[in-house]
Structure 1
Amino acid sequence: MSYYDVDSILTDAQKLPCTFELDVPGLGILEGNPGESIKAGTRIDLPLWLGEMLSIGARLGTSRLVTLDIPSALSERVMNAFQADPRTVDLRSLAPNYYRLSERVLELFEEEEMIDILSNTFKKRAAEIADHAHNPKGALGDGAEFLQGLDETERQLFRVAHDSAKETRIWAGEAKKR
């Protein structure tokens, strides 16, 4: 990960639900109420980077300011959809950098079952992506809807698979050079 990596910056900006554990005077601007206080128990969606920093007290043994909650993109409903058929889920609508967000969130939570589900999902979707990348006619027909729902990691995978298949055909002499 680079400091200037746009996908990392966008992932850090993704909102996570956070619950404040303490009263915080003067931080009401996060709710749109400048000058007000945030009361304990208030739930606010904060950027990942901010929520992670505010929850760090729990790891240091002190009382934490906020508790992070699992985002809706990683909810039980989404996990059930992945287990049923991962190809039917539109990852882009859940989060443009879905796998990066999942990786960052799962660093904060210990959810072994979720890790297994996401690993299997990526494997199954990667096979489908490779199939569409090697068969351009399929990508234009029935697969167009699936390809529109790819997150950025999957889009990069599609580009690499498509370009390598094209270069292999050129190398084998089956296609014209650019």
Structure 2
Amino acid sequence: MTYYDVDAILTDAQKVPCTFELTVPGLGFLEGNMSGDIKHGSKVELPLWLGEMLALSQSLSTGTPLVSLDHPPALSPRVLNALKADARTVDLRALVPHFYNLGARVLELFEEEEMIEVLSDSFKARAAVIADQAHNPRGALGEGADFMRGLDENERQLFRASHDSAKAVRTWMTDIKT
């Protein structure tokens, strides 16, 4: 991803739950407390970029990380179980518009083999349906419309590429026949 990649910027702006590992004076406004401190053990949702920076930073006095990152709700065990059961029924866009980008960013921070397997299997299963919908325009407008509304941004780009390539092949075939 590049510096000017809008999808990367939107993914990094996604809020993730963080737990403060020490008391921080004067930052109570992050919890909605206009005056005061953030206490040790406080849970606050921060943008991914900030949570990552604070998790990698260490206190000078104790050497412990300032915050610990928790998994975002979009990658909770409940969502992963739903993806395992039937990936086509999960509305990824309602969870996070950049679902797979968020998954990739979280996997950079946490090493979880099961999450890698679930995300890759669900993308493969959904990609087959996306390709079918792209080649069959009636399906995307009819009974597949609910599925199409739930696509995340990567899947929407895949749909556009599949649709445009199918259209280009049809145009090429008609040009050959004439």
TM-score by shorter chain over 0.5: yes
Which residue in the other structure is 1:33 paired with? Answer: 33
Computed over aligned residues only, the root mean square deviation of the Cα atoms, in angstroms, reads 1.5
Q: 5+ unaligned residues in a row in structure 2: which ranges?
A: none
Which residue in the other structure is 1:76 paired with? Answer: 77
Offset, 1:36: 1.1
**Which has the higher mean CA deviation after the structures are superposed, 135-144 or 29-38?**
29-38
Offset, 1:34: 3.0
Cα distance between partner residues in 2 of 1:32 and 1:79: 31
Cα distance between partner residues in 2 of 1:127 and 1:43: 39
Which residue in the other structure is 1:97 paired with? Answer: 98
Counterpart AA for 1:34: M
Cα distance between partner residues in 1 of 2:17 and 2:137: 40
Cα distance between partner residues in 1 of 2:4 and 2:63: 33
Cα distance between partner residues in 1 of 2:42 and 2:124: 38
Counterpart AA for 1:50: L
CA offsets, 1:8-39, max 9 Å, x none?
Answer: 11101100000000000011121122331000
Cα distance between partner residues in 2 of 1:32 and 1:9: 25
Which residue in the other structure is 2:49 paired with? Answer: 49
Offset, 1:5: 1.3
How many residue pairs match? The answer is 173
Q: TM-score, normalised by structure 1?
A: 0.94
Cα distance between partner residues in 2 of 1:100 and 1:164: 24
Q: 5+ unaligned residues in a row in structure 1: which ranges?
A: none
DSSP-derived class of the 1:164 partner: helix
Which residue in the other structure is 2:130 paired with? Answer: 129
Given the alignment of the two structures, is residue 164 of structure 1 paired with residue 158 of structure 2, yes or no?
Answer: no
Cα distance between partner residues in 1 of 2:57 and 2:46: 17
Q: TM-score, normalised by structure 2?
A: 0.94
Cα distance between partner residues in 1 of 2:156 and 2:174: 27
Cα distance between partner residues in 1 of 2:69 and 2:2: 25
Counterpart AA for 1:5: D
Q: Following TM superposition, where does structure 1 have runs of at least 4 consecutive aligned residues deviating by more than 4 angstroms?
A: none
Identical pairs, percent:
66
